[in-house]
Structure 1
Amino acid sequence: MAAILHPIRALEHVVSEYRDYLQTEFRAKDANLRAALEQELDAQGFLAQEPFYQAHRPFVDGSNWRDLPIEPALARVMEERTQQPCGYLHQTAAIDELLSDSARPVVVTTGTGSGKTESFLLPVIQNAFEDSAMFPKSGLTAILIYPMNALANDQKLRIEDYLTEAGFGNIKVEQYDRSTSQKTRQEMRANPPHILLTNYMMLEYLLVRPADRENIFANHRCRYLVLDEVHSYRGILGSNIALLTRRLKAHLERARQDWNPNPPATERLKRFPTLVPVGTSATIKSFAEDGLSREEVIRLRDEAVQEFFGTLTGAERESIVVMGEELKSVDVPSEAVYPSPANPVDIRGLDFADTASIEQALAELAGTPGASLEQAARSYKLLWDLNDWLIRRPMSISQIVEAVRESVAERAGGSVEELTREVEAALTVGAALPDGTPGALRLRAHRFLRGGWKFHRCVNPDCGRLYPMGEERCGDCGHQTAPLYLCRNCGADYLAFMGDPDNEPLRPRPETSDQPEWMIYEPDRFNLPVIVDDDDDDDDSGNVAPPRRGQQRVPAQIRGRQVRMGSFDPTSLQFSNDPTDYRMQVTLAPARTRCLCCGGTAGSRSVLTPVALGTSAAVKVIGEGLVETLAAANVGKEGHDGKERLLVFSDSRQDAAHQARFVIFASRYDRMRRRLVELLESRGVLRIQEAVEALSELAVNHHDNPYVPEDTGWLPDDTRDRIAVWEEAPLLDELAVNAGYRGTLFNLGLVGVRYNRLDEYVHARGENLAGTLAIHLGELEYLCRVVLDEMRTRGALSRPMLQYHPAHIACPQHFQRAEWERRMKLPQGYPLTPQREVVANMDAALLPSGIKHHNVWRRPGVGGRGPSVERIIRHLQDRLGGTTQLNPQIAEDVLSFLRDGSFVTAAELFGFRDRAHLLQVNSEVIRLELLSEQQRVHCEVCGDVRTGAPVHAPCPRCHGLMVTWDDAVVAQNRHVRRIRNREAIPLVAKEHTAQITTADRAEVEENFKAPSEVSPVNMLACSPTLEMGIDVGGLDAVVMRNVPPRPDNYAQRGGRAGRRSRVGIVLGYARSTPHDQYFYDKPREMIAGEVPAPAVSLGNRDVLIRHLYAIVLGSAEPGLAGRMIDYVGPQGEMKHEAVNALIEGVTAQVGHAVEVARQAWGADVLSRANLTDDDLRALLAALPDRIRFVFDATARQVIELRQALEHYTQTLERRHAGTRAADLVARILGIPTDQRTNQQDADDRSAGYPLRRFAEFGLLPGYEFPSEPAALRLLG
């Protein structure tokens, strides 16, 4: 049996991966708390909502391509592209209508992937072909308006492909947007194209700019005005578009027609065609459809679409033809029945690759033992009902069960549980049936996954139930809940409260509150008695005896507030200092900076943190689960190119860019970890340099390092260096720079760091030092190992990449190729005297700028907790029973001992300009090795991982002991399993948003479509740029990083999945926003993918006035110039002659503007805004003063900005403010700053472009919010 993507099993795998990730990140120390999470994960709706299923929608066939009124060559192109002799009914009906002599306005409202584009493209191309054959003169025959440039880009390429394949080389198609060059614009003015693609903003400019409005529309034969994705025009945008299309129609009627003004009668309809508006839309529904017949539903939908489109375009509502989707009916075989009783089938062990297994399961479900696959399918009525129901709308299993109970007499009395099992089995088996099997289900599966976790826990210790989204009261026992926090080190749990514990009950504290906090901790649950120390943790002098084994001392104060011990009543939330008053014995910590269980801290940050899953990380996990399940399904699939592809949608460009960067960053580290483990398995112990060389070799072999050239036959030294630093950066991050991250190879317990022959050296030379410390040689070895670890993980490692500040002139150039997002770029080390002798501490002022040092012992008179090496030595000496006579000399002796053995070395470090020598761990003694179960130890309390530490040795961080770390426990971590998984497929992401250039987007799309041997890119993180109609090839899955704004957005994004295979997976990640959580709770409303017809108002006076001003400004001679510098000089002086000329030109066109407004909008529109002709003239009479105000405000702004510029010029002070002011003046006035002196117009996105400036001041239509903060300040 051929491989098949089974969407139900695929969803199960993805949710399982997400579950594993949540369990890995939920690092609770308390077994009961972990069990509470396990219990909730199994609850319906906790981790994910129930899935919805939607069957492939087979549209009714229409006419043969060859029978349509299009050229045979174009019909042949369609046959080849669709691999079908005919189109869908909605396509061919629209084509027939639009190419008839009496064509009426058409709206095609169908689902994603239904071929809406061809419904208007073929008439547009056919009409252009006929025009080019009839008339030698260039001129517009169709204007296609798109809501975004990326969609127009894609459509232009598609049109050009059609023209090329059909041999229509004489048809000219052009796109006019911000990226269109001045040369192309001039060519279009001289010779307008047959087909013009643009967006509504640029159409506005075309109607106002003098050169464009006169020339591009001259001698047009424009028959079609196409509004693609018309459902997106709603609200104020819809009002603007409605007035704009009417102005366009009026302008076309008035455009210059000085070529062939009197054609023969046979050509007249072609020379002066009637403009036909055409719209495409997502599936539109009427507001109320429940209980209505199909005919009534269609009638109401058509009326709603006619009302909307008529309002939008000015077309007569009754004349508008609405083309909805017509679905093929499901022909149920006569022998299909519901077996009675239902036959239970265990689907858990079903083998989808085994046809016999599928056949047997279906025969059991159908009650036809021994029947063939086809016989069983034809006999099982539920399979056919599922096809019928799921074709019409997405349904969840619970909805299907309800439909069965209501409509199937044989199942009316069945229990919900029995019906659920039957429906699940029928869906699972039906989706596994081979292609061609009668009744086979080809499903698109939808599911929402919960994100934005805000864990609360019931305060009742007898209950302790977890709640995922901050629910304030427990549904089981009625007690309140409180925010749950875990220690980042040990996983001990706390509940967050606020209030005065002496005078009032405590209250759960939201994370966003600025009230003083109390973190409730129950020490008895961890069998670790708390001993209160008299010192504040912010002033650890080191003179107090450190904690003994098995006991955790905590300071009397944290952050200046007292630590409280007593009891707590979970019902009243009252605290008492008497531990016997209430049944819960607790400790109140007044801050989150120190854990009362392990004593851990996180510097100035909180060590107690809420359980939070980053959106980008969660989406990456979901994506990994998807590509792996897709790969398993596509093994051996005919025609599959070996690459699994995934789209990840975000609402904003920033979120999409962040998601792409995160995946790129995280996947790079995943790759390093996986490969280093493989290398250590095959080669054994490695030095750091050996590891870097081996990683570089693998990178060359796999061609997956950005600096590996295509031809690897000879690699120059500089190329090898670039490859090596790119490979070394993530390894150094885990070894030395970001070693505290929980997911490093070393903290996961997979790889250990050994200091070569340290044990031999200590036993050979360490007797004197051991005697000074009063410890055994084995204990001295352990102490030395811990000190080396501490130095290394603070960045003091003698690798060249850790010895240069990037700004130093001697920093090797190839280091810049590391693409290393280091948190700390300063080289770091431990103190040395100018004579390079070991010293316990030094003053930072003695070091050159750009170099950081860490003292090993506190400087005299300095407070605080003391350097980490000092704290470790004091702590271990106490735990090991060594000398208590500790002083800076002890630390110097330890480091000198390690230096004598070459374990640390005096390294030359390079700062911003100068250099210095500091002590670093000698990288040559480091050995990397895989850890066996016997070698792997960690602290029983805080989880600190130490390679080579003796079992039951004291933890250097806390009061715990080092214990073995079983393989079984380590393997529970999802990160470990993925590192060890040789079949894991990495995500290779690219950004696809409007932020990147058109050329880069095209390259990204080609790499995404290309097979894996050509490009590994398998994930696009995209904004709504890819939502509308853009073809990026066949793919099976889509992830939404947030729940989209509307159902039509969801349908268009989700519709990318399974367009070609007819099987797809759509996953939505619901963040913590109210919008996302609303639709997580009500997924049906979003997944339906249908929207009511948008509401558009024509009575908005402000919008209409702006369009009125656009008419008069577009008619004025001279019209608006291309740059503000033409009206305001660089000193802020007004150019009165130019301003007066513009105002005179506007004043002269008042009568014309009123006439055009009346023609464009008619009494119907004007009356809605309560505007008469006199009102229009009065508004136009006020325009000159408003124009002067715009130029006045601009001049004032330039004068104010020049003050900062002149201050800098005169004093050479505040250089940044001066240069920024100069740049702003240039932008405001449209002065080119990049030597493009031939640029006649300013960038039309900036305030230096008069049309944009006028829109910001309310004088021209504003299709988007003002982007220039300077203008907002002036208006405010």
Structure 2
Amino acid sequence: MPLNPIVYTEKIVRSFLKYQLSAYPLADPGLNQQMREQLSLDSVGDTPLLQGPYFSLSKAFLEGAKVSQLVDEKILHPHLVNLIPPNVHYVYGHQEEAIRAIHDKKTTLVSTGTGSGKTECFLYPIISHCLNLRDQNAPAGISAVLVYPMNALAEDQLDRLRSLLAGSNIPFAMYVGKTPETELLVAGHRMPANSSNADYIATLAKFRSEGRSDSVHPAEEVCSREMMRTPGKQPRILLTNVKQLELLLTRRQDVELFSDARLDFLVFDEAHTFSGIQGAETACLIRRLRTFCGKASTHTTCIATSATIVDQNEPNAARNFASRFFGVHSTSVVTVHEKYQKETWSRTIVPQPPARESVAELLKQTLAGLESTDVQSAVAQSYAALTGSTLAVSPNTSGGWQESLYDALQSNQIAANIATALHNPRKLSNLMSDLELTSGRHVSEEEMLVYLALGAVAIKNNRPLMRPVAHAFIRGISGGVVSFPQGNTPKVWLTSADELTKLQDNAKVWKPRLFTCTTCGQHYFLTFLKDFDFSAKAPQGGQLSDQGSHYWEALDETNGGRRVVLLDKLVSQDEEQTESQPRTAPVSFCRHCGTGHPPGTSLCCGCGSSSEQVRLFAVRTSDKQPGYLSSCISCGARGKNMGRRFREPMRELRATHVSDVHVLAQDMIQHADRKRLLLFTDNRQDAAFQAGWMKDHARRFRLRNLMADAIHGREVGIGEIANHISERLDANDVLSRVLIPEVWRYVFKEGTGGQHADERLHFLRVQVLREITLASNQQIGLEPWGRILVRYEKISSSAPVIQHWAKRLKLSPDELKVGIDALLDLLRRRRMLTDPLAPIFSHYWD
């Protein structure tokens, strides 16, 4: 069943909100409950972190010619029928137009939306041409060069070529920066010569079922640079990027790659990225390539694809672009865009009464049912509750319940009105009023979502009745703040103070920033005051008012305001104990302007407000780090110096983009049908940082997973865990290169006489030692998660030494053992231990 965007969006958003709640734990029950309500976990559509979702319905593309018809017309090779998926009997109208234009050697620009089959527009005629060359026993040489702006897109195309060309005897290759130089460096599984497409598919399925991520290379894939350069071994289809293509034409060792190249086709994907200087340089590169291969502009068929480059109202602009870019005459350029089928709803539209039960509950049941094992029963129940009618499955329909649902919804008034309203992206809140007018009754957001979810699984002739497209803009917490509407009780806002000021009519509200201890969850507030100092016994500094009392005026940090850490109460103590805490001092704050006063002040010296002031406690800081929390007052967790920066034991309720993106990406991959995801950033630096951060964290969690598998409910030693993982990695070079690249860089595996295995085992032992010596306040790890329990050899209640000292200390042996274990745990988590094989925590002094 295809991915349901309604279910998918709801899952991703809900999981992300749960992550936000767990990432910033608040121990105070009241604040924690406020945060849950602000995040709106029960109704994810109401959360302030989500903009949208915006929904539209993707239109069905117009059917073109049947594949068999194109074969009969000799436009496609007969064998292509066996390569195209069996459920594809015809191509879309725009695909047919592009295929015919490319067959006629016309320069073609394909501008269709995502998921419209742009790739098939050029891939089918190129493969067809290569099959003809194979039948003619044509000499080796590159026939088609496919250029992509990103390696990720080229790799995605490579996977598609593997599944299409395995067993076809058509060589293909990808030449990018990480392409191995020699055959010895090629990682993954190589299929034997003369293996079939079925052999490739079976091997790939076997590897994936075993959880192996190894690449499976068909015999037709040319994997190394040295093989691509070998005369007679050049690929027919070459995937690359602009930078590598320029290098191929520059370096002497790569000349053989383009010797005897036919250069029948030249394809540029995402052509809109080749604009400005880059476009001009690429246009020169195209001319250099043709000149190098000795081909005229009329010989090479040029193709460009993009979702935005063709303007239907101004097609000449695209033709002129192609003329300049490819160096061809504009009259020979064909522009292709989508062609849609006309929507056909039933002539008899049946008005629908409101749903019989709670629509919000029905939405939950429907989304859960679509993920259950018995989807048919769940859909039938949801349809009956939604419409009051029974979904009758006709025995004459070949599509079963999905076709029956299609026919039933096609005559449904609400479904028809929704389809009409969603021709363009609409936010649900703006859509409801239109539906109410066209339907003659109130239609809730939940009811509309149920219709969209059911419409997505109503399929007839391989065509869903509705193809919902969801666009959601989600962000992390931009900066948690609190306000004090009444008394001393804080109100949590998951929006920064600046954003909150724009949203509220009354901007004159004091909004200190909210922090939480990373160990115990004790909450703190942060504000900035003029000339405030609390490093002695009592707060000092400030200004003198006309009445003779002193005060500390609110002053922004950018204007020289001094940092002040505050709290209203300690979650681990009662109110009296908080009052007597030696590291705090009471300070009264104006709830409007944030000016600080001595306790008991009734009139604000900053803004003149006579409102009751907020009584909080300022936290004393040290002279070395004024204004910074040196240790948590509740649990004692200490801050530490990180180079020139001091890291407090508390963190602000503010999202970290790199971790938020990582969590979103993991969830999207987990629930997606195709496990491939592209992330886009504003610049290369952000992309490099995001990729490195995600790769490093994914590696840590994968190593933890291997450690947990090595233990698996039995008692094992550190060496046994390292040996188990080492054996796993020895049998899987691809996984080994990903998880322990340091070892591979230090010593190669082949021809080193076992040195690689020794270094690998040492490296893994160090990783196990790092895992079992995590600090006691660390929340991420096998021990904090309860996946492992560390026991100490020879420390048991029956040991003679335990029995002896238990009698002398008048303790039971079990009590003494627990105490010794606790002491050893404390020392271990402080990394006060030695390991004879990996003494990484040992220090020696002369």
TM over 0.5, yes or no? yes
SS state of the match for residue 63, structure 1? strand
Residue 417 of structure 2 contacts residue 438 of structure 2 at CA under 8 Å; is this kept in 1?
no
Residue 476 of structure 2 contacts residue 657 of structure 2 at CA under 8 Å; is this kept in 1?
yes
Match of 1:661 in 2: 696
Match of 1:81 in 2: 84
CA deviation vs aligned residue, 1:1131-1173 (integer Å, no higher than 9, x gap): xxxxxxxxxxxxxxxxxxxxxxxxxxxxxxxxxxxxxxxxxxx
Pick from 15, 19, 22 the counterpart of residue 21 of structure 1.
Answer: 19
- Which 5+ residue runs of structure 1 have no aligned equivalent? 258-270, 287-297, 532-549, 556-562, 635-643, 711-716, 806-824, 829-846, 850-1276
Deviation at 1:573, TM superposition (A): 1.4
CA deviation vs aligned residue, 1:415-468 (integer Å, no higher than 9, x gap): 5xx332321221233345477699644556554432364322235545523224
Q: What residue identity is the alignment partner of 1:347?
A: L
Deviation at 1:826, TM superposition (A): 2.3
Deviation at 1:37, TM superposition (A): 0.4
Residue 345 of structure 2 contacts residue 416 of structure 2 at CA under 8 Å; is this kept in 1?
yes
2:514 matched to 1:466? no
Once the two structures are overlaid, the 10-residue window that deviates more, 430-439 or 379-388, is 430-439
Cα distance in 2 for partners of 1:709, 1:197 equals: 27
Residue 338 of structure 1 contacts residue 382 of structure 1 at CA under 8 Å; is this kept in 2?
yes
- Which 5+ residue runs of structure 2 have no aligned equivalent? 182-223, 394-403, 533-541, 544-551, 603-612, 621-626, 642-646, 682-686, 734-753
Q: What fraction of aligned residue pairs are identical, expressed as a percent? A: 21
Cα distance in 1 for partners of 2:594, 2:482 equals: 14
Cα distance in 2 for partners of 1:192, 1:743 equals: 50
Match of 2:306 in 1: 281
Question: Structure 1 residues 444, 256: closer, same or farther in 2, change over 3 A?
Answer: closer
2:409 matched to 1:409? no
Match of 2:832 in 1: 796
Q: What residue identity is the alignment partner of 1:568?
A: F
Pick from 649, 652, 663 the counterpart of residue 607 of structure 1.
Answer: 649
Once the two structures are overlaid, the 10-residue window that deviates more, 788-797 or 369-378, is 369-378
Cα distance in 2 for partners of 1:161, 1:355 equals: 32
CA deviation vs aligned residue, 1:1162-1207 (integer Å, no higher than 9, x gap): xxxxxxxxxxxxxxxxxxxxxxxxxxxxxxxxxxxxxxxxxxxxxx
2:841 matched to 1:826? yes
Q: Which is greater in Rg?
A: 1
Q: How does 1:607-646 map to 2 (within 5 A)?
A: 607-611=649-653, 618=660, 621-622=663-664, 645=675
Question: Structure 1 residues 744, 276: closer, same or farther in 2, change over 3 A?
Answer: closer
2:133 matched to 1:98? no
Q: What residue identity is the alignment partner of 2:303?
A: V
Match of 2:365 in 1: 349
Cα distance in 1 for partners of 2:249, 2:785 equals: 64
CA deviation vs aligned residue, 1:521-566 (integer Å, no higher than 9, x gap): 22477755699xxxxxxxxxxxxxxxxxx887545xxxxxxx7543
TM-score (norm 1): 0.47
Match of 2:408 in 1: 376
Match of 1:1105 in 2: none
Residue 833 of structure 2 contacts residue 842 of structure 2 at CA under 8 Å; is this kept in 1?
no
Residue 524 of structure 1 contacts residue 585 of structure 1 at CA under 8 Å; is this kept in 2?
no
Cα distance in 2 for partners of 1:508, 1:99 equals: 68
Pick from 275, 281, 284 the counterpart of residue 234 of structure 1.
Answer: 275
Deviation at 1:50, TM superposition (A): 3.5
Match of 1:306 in 2: 319
For these two proteins, the number of residue pairs brought into alignment is: 705
2:345 matched to 1:332? yes
Residue 377 of structure 1 contacts residue 383 of structure 1 at CA under 8 Å; is this kept in 2?
yes
Residue 455 of structure 1 contacts residue 611 of structure 1 at CA under 8 Å; is this kept in 2?
yes
Residue 568 of structure 1 contacts residue 586 of structure 1 at CA under 8 Å; is this kept in 2?
no
Q: What residue identity is the alignment partner of 2:568?
A: E
TM-score (norm 2): 0.68
SS state of the match for residue 335, structure 2? strand
Match of 2:449 in 1: 424
Match of 2:595 in 1: 574
Residue 54 of structure 1 contacts residue 393 of structure 1 at CA under 8 Å; is this kept in 2?
yes
2:563 matched to 1:517? yes
Question: Structure 1 residues 162, 401: closer, same or farther in 2, change over 3 A?
Answer: same
Once the two structures are overlaid, the 10-residue window that deviates more, 727-736 or 515-524, is 727-736
Cα distance in 2 for partners of 1:347, 1:207 equals: 58
2:229 matched to 1:200? no
SS state of the match for residue 304, structure 2? strand
Pick from 520, 543, 548 the counterpart of residue 490 of structure 1.
Answer: 520
Question: Structure 1 residues 768, 602: closer, same or farther in 2, change over 3 A?
Answer: farther
2:494 matched to 1:454? no
Deviation at 1:380, TM superposition (A): 1.1
CA deviation vs aligned residue, 1:1010-1045 (integer Å, no higher than 9, x gap): xxxxxxxxxxxxxxxxxxxxxxxxxxxxxxxxxxxx
Cα distance in 1 for partners of 2:127, 2:462 equals: 39
Residue 52 of structure 1 contacts residue 396 of structure 1 at CA under 8 Å; is this kept in 2?
yes
Residue 61 of structure 1 contacts residue 88 of structure 1 at CA under 8 Å; is this kept in 2?
yes
SS state of the match for residue 64, structure 2? strand
Deviation at 1:72, TM superposition (A): 8.0
Match of 2:199 in 1: none
Residue 569 of structure 1 contacts residue 584 of structure 1 at CA under 8 Å; is this kept in 2?
no
Q: How does 1:553-952 map to 2 (within 5 A)?
A: 553-554=581-582, 565-578=586-599, 580=601, 582-589=613-620, 590-604=627-641, 605-611=647-653, 618=660, 621-622=663-664, 645=675, 647=677, 649=679, 651=681, 652-669=687-704, 672=707, 679=713, 689=717, 705-707=728-730, 732-733=769-770, 735-744=772-781, 747=784, 756-757=796-797, 765=805, 787-797=823-833, 800=836, 804-805=838-839, 825-827=840-842, 847-848=844-845
Q: How does 1:247-258 map to 2 (within 5 A)?
A: 251=291
Residue 151 of structure 2 contacts residue 241 of structure 2 at CA under 8 Å; is this kept in 1?
yes
Residue 568 of structure 2 contacts residue 617 of structure 2 at CA under 8 Å; is this kept in 1?
yes
Deviation at 1:515, TM superposition (A): 6.5
Match of 1:1258 in 2: none
CA deviation vs aligned residue, 1:585-629 (integer Å, no higher than 9, x gap): 322443221223444323444112223565565556556656776
SS state of the match for residue 346, structure 2? coil
CA deviation vs aligned residue, 1:485-506 (integer Å, no higher than 9, x gap): 1122332222222332313523
Q: What residue identity is the alignment partner of 2:567?
A: Y
Pick from 505, 521, 531 the counterpart of residue 553 of structure 2.
Answer: 505
Residue 454 of structure 1 contacts residue 468 of structure 1 at CA under 8 Å; is this kept in 2?
yes
Residue 145 of structure 2 contacts residue 267 of structure 2 at CA under 8 Å; is this kept in 1?
yes
Cα distance in 2 for partners of 1:725, 1:194 equals: 45
Cα distance in 1 for partners of 2:826, 2:418 equals: 63
Question: Structure 1 residues 17, 71: closer, same or farther in 2, change over 3 A?
Answer: same
Residue 456 of structure 1 contacts residue 471 of structure 1 at CA under 8 Å; is this kept in 2?
no
Deviation at 1:789, TM superposition (A): 3.9
Deviation at 1:361, TM superposition (A): 3.2
SS state of the match for residue 9, structure 1? helix
Let me know the Cα RMSD of the aligned residues. 5.2
Cα distance in 2 for partners of 1:304, 1:92 equals: 23
Cα distance in 1 for partners of 2:101, 2:19 equals: 55
Deviation at 1:187, TM superposition (A): 6.0
Deviation at 1:41, TM superposition (A): 0.8
Residue 74 of structure 1 contacts residue 162 of structure 1 at CA under 8 Å; is this kept in 2?
no
Residue 363 of structure 2 contacts residue 450 of structure 2 at CA under 8 Å; is this kept in 1?
yes
CA deviation vs aligned residue, 1:927-986 (integer Å, no higher than 9, x gap): xxxxxxxxxxxxxxxxxxxxxxxxxxxxxxxxxxxxxxxxxxxxxxxxxxxxxxxxxxxx
SS state of the match for residue 68, structure 1? helix
Q: What residue identity is the alignment partner of 2:363?
A: I
